Amino acid sequence: MDVLTCYHCGDVCGNTTINYDERSFCCNGCKTVYEIFSSNDLSYYYDLQSAAGSTPNEIEGKFDFLESEKIQEKFIEFSDNGLQIVNLQIPHIHCSSCIWILENLNKLSPGISSSQVDFPEKTVRINYNSDKTSLKDLVILLARIGYEPYISLKDFDNDKKGKDRSLIYKLGIAGFAFGNVMFLSFPEYFDVGEYWLEQFKVVFRWVMFAFSLPVVFYSGQDFFISAYKGLRSRYLNLDVPIALGILVLFIRSTVEIIFDWGSGFFDSLTGLVFFLLLGKFFQQKTYSYLSFERDYKSYFPIAITRISKDNKEENVQVYDIEKGDRLLIRSGEIIPVDAILISENAKIDYSFVTGESEPVLKNSGDKIFAGGKQLGSAIELETVKSVSQSYLTQLWSNAVFQDDRSNSFKTMTDGIGKRFTIAVLTIAFVSSIIWMFLDPSKVINVFTAVLIIACPCAIALAAPFTLGNMLRLFGRHKFYLKDSNTIEKLAQIDTGIFDKTGTITTAADSKVEYEGMELTLEEESLLKNTLRSSNHPLSRKLYELLADHDIITLAEYEEQLGHGITGGTAENKIRVGSATFVGNSQPNPTEKTAVHISSNDEYKGRYIFQNHYRDGVKEIFQDMSSDLELALLSGDNDGEKATLNKLLPQGTAMYFNQKPENKLAFISELQEQNKKVLMVGDGLNDAGALAQAEVGIAISENVNVFSPACDGILDAKNFKYLYQYILASRKAIKIIKLSFLLSLMYNVIGLYFAVTGQLQPVIAAILMPLSSISIVAFTTIATNLLGRKLDS
């Protein structure tokens, strides 16, 4: 009877073989998965991987506990109007085909709208419609296609995840076997001629063979799996030459002891796998270190307004928020934590979380999830749990805000790795053919040494380690970047665009004077409460200057970016903003920065601000003008033009009365001229411009103006160091290029000794991880030296 294997999972089919569509399946589960894939045009999955994940034997009833609403609340991150988001741990994610199938779940179930895989964390974040599918159905679907989520309420409550220690086990076995094989090889090394050693030499060889088996088939299995998956996907990854080298050494060594031709290369084989895993372990530890440093240092400089027990408003860092705190959320602010609405109603924009821009109306007592943005007047909330900084980081990295601009350095690194692998294979085969005619005994050594010594791992490590360390160093200096790609983009900019109000000016030290008709107590109270809901720098300054008034609920509130604010009760309405917005047609004789007031469509007067420019503005513009084209885009009038002419370098372009859409269009025009644009703004009126620019930097004044549209957040106190950060980014790219050069020199020298037969495979195995370690050490030391310069 022919042995049949399941078309889906690859297991050997038993007596209960199910035949369907001229294919064999071991169970109904595998057959059902195949039907789902075929009917949804996903059969290409089997071309990528014949057995992805692992298919469970029984799932019926296993996940019934997920029908409980209380249990669902522990896992669901977001739930509103039928849309739910869940982040599930999938231990079986291990390759590109896993990512491919998990990010195409929407084709398997009509209730799933999107899914996004975090490969390093082995998680998938799924957006789904709870009216069409449930959490239980979702988990069952994942289990049926071989990706059963790891669900443990105990571990979830303790916020613990199981650690993968497989690399340590594999390294330990390889090290143990390597040591013993080296010991058993002593008679072969020294040819001592001792009787008993000679008598048992054959036994020693077979013992070495036995030690090599777990090394090749367990410790080295990841190299074979990765190479196989890459070849199945028609991609030559870095593990192809390594797997080939291990396989050649094992087969040749086995053949030699079978026919008693010699002792083989078991010492080189076990040593090769051990040192490869040692290098892999070192890389993993270093990545974890950098990741920890970034997570710890990347707390955004955002604060939130907390209402104390005595009804006082105070600014606190978001990670100081505790369960039960009362928070004040102004218009345009991000809600950083799950909370219950205290105010009568709220208008929440969840586009940062879901990508859907339609606002959601909430009433008092409703639960509001972290990540929503308040669109109306200020609201009060009571927190139901402490803030998750990692969740804010996830919001910042949401795919909704990712652009399609390619990263040239990343592409160059990947391209080098692929081309290098092809070159290495070519050199290995050509040199082996030549040595077959010169000295056949050296062919195996030459072939294996070339494959190992020329591995492009060091080249592949240069960019991520350099840029990862720079992220950490920038974070230490309160310059928080979204990802490592931003550093490269920052190094390439040739044009700098700056907003004025709240960016190069600060409202903290501004002097304010009022001109016009005196406001009544009712008008001043309405003005105070209207300004309470706004985050604009001038609004915040004016709010602090006005006398305290009772908090009233606004029946009407609307903020038009770049224009002004409208607030009102049932009896009165007030407008705050530009002269045209409030209805004043009279010219402004002073042409200074002013906030105009009208009450019930009657113009009342204006608050005039004497702008205070940040420390170092003159110096930073002077330094940047040496190699960047600079421009100032202001939504304000040109009343400060004379001051700016003295402050900014001669020839700096200045544009006034610019609306948000004008700023965005201006940057687009520059980009059509192949300019690489840096936009620096306050994150409020400049959101569109920040998103359009190659690099958008938001200046933070310790208020909650978190903008996922930006690429970086800079603490306002460190604004004067912005150009130094740009220069540091350029030096980081030079470090990467120098690392490439060093790695290339190493490979050329190593290949010379390998091709000429002067390098043993075990020595190559030792040198390969050492080269990776040396590159990482070089990039880390070089970037730390950059960090010291930033410190000074």
Query: Which of residues 362, 378, 396 is at a domain's end?
Result: 396
Query: Which of residues 700, 729, 758 is at a domain's end?
Result: 729
Residue 14 vs residues 1, 8, 81: alpha-carbon distances, Å: 11, 14, 47
Point out the least confidently predicted range of 110-114, 202-206, 245-249, 566-570.
245-249
- Are β-strands 18-20 and 303-307 bridged in parallel, bridged antiparallel, or unpaired? unpaired
What is the reported pLDDT for 292? 45
Does residue 586 share a domain with residue 492? no
Rg over alpha carbons for the chain, rounded to the nearest Å, is 32
Q: Give the mean model confidence (pLDDT) for residues 13-30.
A: 64
Taking the C-alpha atoms of 346, 350, 351 and 355 in order, what is their torsion angle to the nearest 10 degrees? -150
User: Over 50: is that where the pLDDT of 126 sits?
Assistant: yes
Q: Give the mean model confidence (pLDDT) for residues 53-65.
A: 58
* 642 falls within a domain: yes
Point out the least confidently predicted range of 297-311, 403-417, 732-746.
403-417
Does residue 364 share a domain with residue 485? no
Short-list 724, 760, 37, CA closest to 444: 760
Does residue 620 share a domain with residue 722? yes
Query: Which of residues 361, 396, 431 is at a domain's end?
Result: 396
Does residue 619 share a domain with residue 724? yes
What's the farthest any 2 CA atoms get from each other in the chain? 115
Short-list 563, 571, 561, 558, CA closest to 525: 571
Does residue 625 share a domain with residue 482? yes
**512's tokens:** 């304010």
| pLDDT digits 0-9 by tens, 485-540 | 788 889 999 999 998 877 888 766 677 888 888 888 888 888 888 888 887 778 88
Does residue 197 share a domain with residue 73? no
User: If you average pLDDT over each of 63-67, 329-333, 769-773, 781-785, which comes out highest?
Assistant: 781-785
Q: Report the C-alpha gap between 369 and 684 in whole angstroms.
A: 22
Number of H helices, E strands in the chain: 28, 28
**262's tokens:** 């010699």
Q: Report the C-alpha gap between 95 and 255 in whole angstroms.
A: 33
What is the reported pLDDT for 705? 54
Half-sphere exposure of 769 (CA within 13 A, CB side): 18
* 401 falls within a domain: no
Q: Report the C-alpha gap between 6 and 168 in whole angstroms.
A: 33
Contact status, residue 779 vs residue 737, Cβ threshold 8 Å: no
Q: Report the C-alpha gap between 320 and 783 in whole angstroms.
A: 32
Contact status, residue 31 vs residue 25, Cβ threshold 8 Å: yes
Q: What angle, 0 to 180 degrees and rounded to 10, lies between the N-to-C axes of helices 266-297 and 201-214?
A: 30
Predicted TM-score (pTM) of the model is: 0.65
User: Over 50: is that where the pLDDT of 56 sits?
Assistant: no
Classified as helix, coil or strand, 379 is strand
Region class of 474: left (phi > 0), else alpha (psi between -120 and 50), else beta: alpha
Which residue is associated with the tokens 């001043």?
524
What is the reported pLDDT for 284? 65
| pLDDT digits 0-9 by tens, 157-183 | 444 455 667 888 998 999 999 888 888
Q: Give the mean model confidence (pLDDT) for residues 264-282.
A: 77
Does residue 500 share a domain with residue 368? no
- Are β-strands 495-499 and 629-633 bridged in parallel, bridged antiparallel, or unpaired? parallel
Q: What is the CATH number of the domain that holds 390?
A: 2.70.150.10
* 283 falls within a domain: no
Residue 631's DSSP bridge partners are: 497, 653
Contact status, residue 502 vs residue 684, Cβ threshold 8 Å: yes
DSSP state of 136: H
Q: Report the C-alpha gap between 579 and 592 in whole angstroms.
A: 12
Point out the least confidently predicted range of 13-17, 221-225, 364-368, 607-611.
13-17
* 429 falls within a domain: no
* 248 falls within a domain: yes
* 208 falls within a domain: yes
Region class of 364: left (phi > 0), else alpha (psi between -120 and 50), else beta: beta
Q: Report the C-alpha gap between 371 and 391 in whole angstroms.
A: 8
Q: Report the C-alpha gap between 69 and 118 in whole angstroms.
A: 26
Does residue 145 share a domain with residue 110? yes
User: Over 70: is that where the pLDDT of 105 sits?
Assistant: yes
Which residue is associated with the tokens 């350029």?
730
Short-list 373, 459, 443, CA closest to 409: 459
Helix (H) or strand (E) holding 776: helix 761-791
What is the reported pLDDT for 160? 46
* 600 falls within a domain: yes
Number of domains the chain is built from:
6
Residue 470's DSSP bridge partners are: none
| pLDDT digits 0-9 by tens, 231-264 | 765 666 667 777 877 887 788 788 888 887 777 7
772 vs 374, higher pLDDT:
374
Q: Report the C-alpha gap between 643 and 591 in whole angstroms.
A: 12
What is the reported pLDDT for 91? 76
Q: What is the CATH number of the domain that holds 556?
A: 3.40.1110.10
Does residue 177 share a domain with residue 129? no
Mean pLDDT over the full length of the chain: 77
- CA 377 and chain centroid, separation: 33
In the structure, what pLDDT confidence band is assigned to residue 666 with cuts at 50, 70 and 90? very high
Does residue 511 share a domain with residue 497? no
Short-list 492, 467, 787, 489, CA closest to 627: 492
Sign of CA pseudo-dihedral 381, 501, 476, 407: positive
Q: Report the C-alpha gap between 409 and 420 in whole angstroms.
A: 16
User: Over 60: is that where the pLDDT of 451 sits?
Assistant: yes
Q: Report the C-alpha gap between 777 and 781 in whole angstroms.
A: 6
Q: What are the DSSP calls for 300-347, one per residue?
A: -S-EEEEE-TTS-EEEEEGGG--TT-EEEE-TT-B--S-EEE-SSEEE
Residue 666's DSSP bridge partners are: none
Does residue 712 share a domain with residue 623? yes
Report the percent of the chain where pLDDT is more than 70: 74
Classified as helix, coil or strand, 564 is strand
3-state SS, one letter per residue, for 455-495: CCHHHHHHHHHHHHHHHHHHHHCCEEECCCHHHHHHHHCCE
| pLDDT digits 0-9 by tens, 567-619 | 888 888 999 988 888 887 666 555 577 889 998 888 988 888 877 888 888 89
Short-list 683, 724, 739, 738, CA closest to 707: 683
Q: What is the CATH number of the domain that holds 676?
A: 3.40.50.1000
Encoded amino acid at 571, one letter: E
What is the reported pLDDT for 498? 93
* 441 falls within a domain: no
What is the reported pLDDT for 54? 44
Taking the C-alpha atoms of 34, 35, 40 and 44 in order, what is their torsion angle to the nearest 10 degrees? 30
Contact status, residue 765 vs residue 451, Cβ threshold 8 Å: no
Q: Give the mean model confidence (pLDDT) for residues 194-202.
A: 68
Helix (H) or strand (E) holding 367: strand 367-368
Residue 26 vs residues 32, 145, 529: alpha-carbon distances, Å: 11, 14, 69
Short-list 474, 478, 536, CA closest to 503: 536
Q: Give the mean model confidence (pLDDT) for residues 554-564.
A: 81
Does residue 651 share a domain with residue 627? yes
Classified as helix, coil or strand, 725 is helix
- Are β-strands 602-613 and 594-599 bridged in parallel, bridged antiparallel, or unpaired? antiparallel
Sheet holding 564-568, edge to edge: 505-516, 602-613, 594-599, 573-577, 564-568, 556-560
Domain span holding position 253:
166-272
What is the reported pLDDT for 218? 92
Q: Give the mean model confidence (pLDDT) for residues 761-779.
A: 71
Q: Report the C-alpha gap between 23 and 18 in whole angstroms.
A: 8
